[in-house]
Structure 1
Amino acid sequence: MAASVLTAPSAARAADAGTAAATGFQVRDGRLLDANGGDFVMRGVNHAHAWYASTTPKALKDVKALGANTVRVVLATGDRWTRNDTADVAAVVDRCRQNRLVCVLEAHDTTGYGEQAGAVTLDRAVDYWIGVQSALKGQEKYVVLNIGNEPHGNSGYTAWTSDTSAAISRLRTAGFTHTLMVDAPNWGQDWSFTMRDNAQRVFSADPARNTVFSIHMYGVFDTAAEVRDYLNRFVSARLPLVVGEFGHDHSDGNPDEDAIMAAAEELGLGYLGWSWSGNGGGVEYLDMAVGFDPSRLSPWGERIFHGPNGIKATSREASVYSGGGGDTTAPTAPGTPTASDVRSGSVTLGWAASTDDTAVTAYDVVRLDGTAETRVATSTANSATVTGLTPSTAYSFAVYARDAAGNRSARSAPLAVTTAPGQAAGACAVTYRVNEWSGGFNADVTVRNTGTAAVRGWQLDFAFPGDQTVRSSWNAKVVQQGTRVRATPEPWTDTIPAGGSVSFGISASFTGVNGAPTAFTLDGAPCAGG
């Protein structure tokens, strides 16, 4: 949590993770699996044990009764707050196990390092974990180790990549085989995209390839477009991500909690809300339970536990707590997909449903490129629309099924499909307007369809003339490689009617002169200026 939220009273995968006997949580193909090899999706809350240790036994029992499968527990290294020693850590883990909860343990003293007075380094957090290691050995099935909370503020955050990689290396050298969780910089919110853009490098620095990334979503993530863009980038890169903290409101802006919970459920990503109770410093509204009383849930508590895509409706207990590992039977493979509504920038796929002894909860559509896979859509129905495709291009798609226990089916047979040709040259016009300030700007982009047919699943390409970097977008998904920029629609901006238009926005930084792009192409065809 950001400052003052709480006040105190070897280079290869170990053996082959796909076939080796699991000793604890593991990451495989961008997913977090439990020790039985089942997909595990965190649904839970944060609890401030470091300041409210006497409430912990009841708090864990209460959040479990409300449906949580995970609790993220605040611990102190002794540098800023009173140290939670080995015996205390062992007791916390034991309480988690008694309540059949997965325990994410985090060292809080690193919060805002480089900006917050008294905050310590990730290296110092590693010293702490080594000091309490005896309480954690043998608990790999039940414990995820969150190395340090929000380990950089808004100063010096460029060191996050090297600092995090070094911390992972030290823990592995010390003999920790747990799944590790690493928080983003910028008080956890990664507005600089330092974690997003360097996640693969950090993941590869872990010789066990067993690291999960954690984003904290507060005021930076105040639109559905920003939430979905961030989460989807990790999913597309097949890197494991959890929303380790978020709230329904915050002093730095109003996060879109509905979008966070909906997108996490759609993509099969974990989330951990902040926090059960005990907030101070002006953000007491983030308490889910008033005075640690589960019978007095706040509006935020009601929302996260009982609302749409909430904990009660979506949480599944870790199979390590079920006798014999619970349901380990995978669904059957979905039927070979078929294509309909093939457009220049998108295609709609359908497939015969899987069968399962419980229930199929989601289907994952993947794009195949040789032996590589990229997940491009997730659907609870046996159909999905894939967008962001290049006109007149051949693609191959396949589908997996997942069930309520987290088991994943074999892959369906692949489907080859070629997208339709792009828009005719000159049948579009683009207007690009800028609101600029020192070092940054917002751009409003309007795309007009001057042709006689609607354009669906569109793709707009252009190039920046200078040193400009996209930070976020809304009403479209925007990606950048070098100076090249590509925008593809959100579901609500998917169609540009004949004679109509759609608009989207970009927030970006720049150095030097902030020149405007001079050429745009829609589905590969040049557009006129606005």
Structure 2
Amino acid sequence: MSRKLATAAGALLALATTMFTGPPAAQAAEPGTGFHVRDGRLLDANGNDFVMRGVNHAHAWYAARTGQALADTKALGANSARIVLSTGDRWTKNDSADVAKVVGQCRANRLVCVLEAHDTTGYGEQSGAVPLSRAVDYWIEVRSALEGQEKYVILNLGNEPHGNVGHSAWTADTTNAITRMRAAGFTHTLMADAPNWGQDWSFTMRDNAPAVFAADPQRNTVFSVHMYGVFDTAAEVRDYLDRFVARRLPVVVGEFGDDHSDGNPDEDAIMAASRGLNLGYLGWSWSGNGGGVEYLDLATGFDASRLTAWGRRLFEGPDGIKQTSREASVYATGDSGDTRPPTAPGAPTASDVTSTGARLSWAASTDDTGVTAYDVIRVDGTRETRVTSTATTGALVTGLAPATAHTFAVYARDAAGNRSPRSATVTVTTTGGPTAGACAVAYRLQEWTGGFNADVTIRNTGTRDITGWQLDFAFPGGQTLNSAWNAKVVQQGSQVRATPEPWTGTIPAGGTVSFGISGKSGGGNGVPAAFTLNGASCARS
């Protein structure tokens, strides 16, 4: 997926009606050191079947977000992450040290790391794009960060390596890239993206995959198709994937979305077919999309508590990640090479305590290979719930009950996934909420065919400032939330909950705060019938 996408082919080619069922490709001996392919299946280093269930993350543009993004997607059930890297030809290079850090972050979160070189996107059509040969140069340059990581890392040679111009060169270019990687000593599983901006509407990859697979001396290549507007019917999705399965060739859906500028992909069919055929998929993308495709964000503003409709579909819907994901067995066996856990972090302190949240801070842990993450756990009696995971020594916890004591434990983890044997704990008592009748809400609706905006103003009619707030209401007409501003807003069914941003956290006595929401209509709009602020009913104004 490129930030600036080329226009897809104007008309879809009709799928051939005859399934090619030639002899199965020969299988080489299993490499034994990491991921490998056998009989058309991707197996991990323990010889167990591995089916990718994950997301794409644009590390090349949002490196500071990667640690938290991986922790959040893991908490939502992902078992893998496809990471955007740059060779330095079109964007700032991700060097060996940075690649090693990313691999460590994947391992710390027990995720399989699919690394891809993005500068090849749309070669032959996109200005500035580089050929696959340049991507191979890059992998050789950062090899020190990849050696010994074959159990945890898959190398995606180059993202969407040909546009719609010159795509016939895909077979030779991909074969040459694989040959060079093996000659350079790489034993990792390699992933080859399709041409035509990844969508292979010309069937170049589909028809030439057997020859490319046979050209890999290790028979350890997986093919990746990106499914957007070209794949807008269940028949097209299933036919394309069936042809690889019938020939015992490994294939994954390396990118897909629920909407696109070139058409409306059938995400339900993509996920159902992947489950039915036991094939992997990786949704595009966690957050930060621009250039008119912001609708492909799975989370709004990199905030896991604000999943978009697309994010909820991918993680929580039928055939979704939570329902079908299984962790790679190499993590279950703890085979990481590093068994020494980090020390416990320093005792946390709480600040900025409100009726629904608080900011926690703690002193850093130490570890022989470096601490990569801290897990914040809420302790309710004997029940423990992970609230967040962060690479920094602080976290904002929200969604707490007012006037209640909450206990939090903080553990440290290193790059091998070892967790500190002891935690540091702190108990936070949230402040009380407003009394009944101390608030009023104005909901100003602007609507058009298929969508709406609403400006929401909360007035504090009481005599005390409200520090920290939670506004609850229900959409009356089946609307779907798309985005929000000046507040964090989440939706579950028809229920909507808004909590403040740092700059809207206090409603002064007699004063107001305002926020906005935008969404899709579900057949009708309307003003919610009731509002509650921190559990107290509010008047409508």
Q: Same fold (TM over 0.5)?
A: yes
Report what 2:6 is aligned to. Answer: 4
Report what 1:409 is aligned to. Answer: 419
Whether the 8 Å CA contact 1:429–1:450 is kept in 2: the answer is: yes
Shift in Å, 1:357:
1.6
1:105 paired to 2:192: yes
Whether the 8 Å CA contact 1:430–1:446 is kept in 2: the answer is: yes
Could you tell me which amino acid in structure 2 is paired with residue 459 of structure 1? Q
Whether the 8 Å CA contact 1:60–1:95 is kept in 2: the answer is: yes
Shift in Å, 1:212:
3.0
Q: 1:170 to 1:347 in 2, by over 3 A?
A: farther
| Distance in 2 between residues matched to 1:48 and 1:182, nearest whole Å | 13
- Which residue, out of 145, 149, 154, partners 2:226? 149
Could you tell me which amino acid in structure 1 is paired with residue 133 of structure 2? P
| Distance in 1 between residues matched to 2:202 and 2:380, nearest whole Å | 44
| Distance in 2 between residues matched to 1:504 and 1:171, nearest whole Å | 49
Structure 2 residue matching 1:51: 3-state secondary structure: coil
Paired residues for 1:11-26 under 5 Å? 20=46
> Which one has a bigger Cα radius of gyration?
2
Structure 1 residue matching 2:484: 3-state secondary structure: strand
Q: 1:390 to 1:109 in 2, by over 3 A?
A: farther
| Distance in 2 between residues matched to 1:199 and 1:373, nearest whole Å | 35
Q: 1:436 to 1:491 in 2, by over 3 A?
A: same
Which structure 1 segments of 5+ residues have no match?
A: 8-13, 113-117, 241-323
Shift in Å, 1:229:
4.4
Shift in Å, 1:94:
4.7
**1:57-113 CA distance string (max 9 Å, x none):** 34543687699987633246999931522x54243235457498996532243767x
Paired residues for 1:118-517 under 5 Å? 119=201, 129=209, 132-135=212-215, 138=218, 145=223, 147-152=224-229, 181-187=254-260, 207=278, 211-215=281-285, 217-218=289-290, 219-221=292-294, 226-229=300-303, 233=307, 331-334=342-345, 342-367=353-378, 376-391=387-402, 397-403=408-414, 405=415, 407=417, 409-410=419-420, 413=423, 419-517=430-528
- Which residue, out of 136, 143, 158, partners 1:72? 158
| Distance in 1 between residues matched to 2:451 and 2:466, nearest whole Å | 32
**1:146-203 CA distance string (max 9 Å, x none):** x3235227xx85x58x97688778767865678763322423899x9986x9999788
| Distance in 2 between residues matched to 1:6 and 1:15, nearest whole Å | 30
| Distance in 2 between residues matched to 1:347 and 1:25, nearest whole Å | 38
**1:477-509 CA distance string (max 9 Å, x none):** 222222211112333433334443332221112
Could you tell me which amino acid in structure 1 is paired with residue 176 of structure 2? A
| Distance in 2 between residues matched to 1:489 and 1:137, nearest whole Å | 56
Q: 1:21 to 1:104 in 2, by over 3 A?
A: closer
| Distance in 1 between residues matched to 2:347 and 2:513, nearest whole Å | 34
| Distance in 2 between residues matched to 1:393 and 1:16, nearest whole Å | 48
1:57 paired to 2:133: yes
Whether the 8 Å CA contact 1:203–1:211 is kept in 2: the answer is: yes
Structure 1 residue matching 2:367: 3-state secondary structure: coil
Greater displacement, 336-345 / 454-463: 336-345
Q: How many equivalent pairs are there? A: 421
Q: 1:342 to 1:237 in 2, by over 3 A?
A: farther
TM-score, normalization by structure 2: 0.59
Q: 1:199 to 1:337 in 2, by over 3 A?
A: farther
Shift in Å, 1:49:
7.2
1:84 paired to 2:175: no
Which structure 2 segments of 5+ residues have no match?
A: 10-40, 54-73, 82-102, 147-154, 316-334
| Distance in 1 between residues matched to 2:79 and 2:5, nearest whole Å | 31
Whether the 8 Å CA contact 1:425–1:526 is kept in 2: the answer is: yes
Whether the 8 Å CA contact 1:236–1:374 is kept in 2: the answer is: no
Could you tell me which amino acid in structure 1 is paired with residue 80 of structure 2? L
Counting aligned pairs with the same residue, the percent is: 37
| Distance in 1 between residues matched to 2:378 and 2:248, nearest whole Å | 37
Could you tell me which amino acid in structure 2 is paired with residue 435 of structure 1? Q
Shift in Å, 1:239:
8.1
State the superposition RMSD in angstroms: 5.5
Whether the 8 Å CA contact 1:346–1:456 is kept in 2: the answer is: no
Report what 2:332 is aligned to. Answer: none
Whether the 8 Å CA contact 1:46–1:74 is kept in 2: the answer is: no
TM-score, normalization by structure 1: 0.60
1:32 paired to 2:86: no
Q: 1:528 to 1:128 in 2, by over 3 A?
A: farther
Shift in Å, 1:456:
3.7
